[in-house]
Amino acid sequence: MAEKDDYLVDMLVDLGFVTAPQVQALRTEANSAGVGVVDLMLANKIIRPADVTQAKAAHFGAEVVNLSEIAIADDVIATVPGILPKNIAWFPFSSMAMP
């Protein structure tokens, strides 16, 4: 079993993406297959990658923002150097004013 997944499995249960009985049933299968419980749930489409992202964010106290669903103000976009969007697929962003 992938013990490193335990915090994530607990968070997925806490957020209601899966139930404790579902997880318990999958642990045996995951152990025999030599894979993590989260990987097994993803492979069987019990959870979505977005659910894992949400659970990780909740664990670390972060917010998940789908940028395709929000409009970014032009003045914010103007603060990003032109080379960044071409070289990276994501970057951290805070809505708090920078000093």
pLDDT confidence tier of residue 29, bands split at 50, 70 and 90: very high
DSSP structure string for 79-96: TS-THHHHH-S------S
Contact 9, 15 (CB under 8 A): no
Rounded to an integer, the average pLDDT of 64-86 is 76
pTM, two decimal places: 0.67
pLDDT at 93: 62
pLDDT at 48: 95
Most confident of 5-9, 21-25, 77-81: 21-25
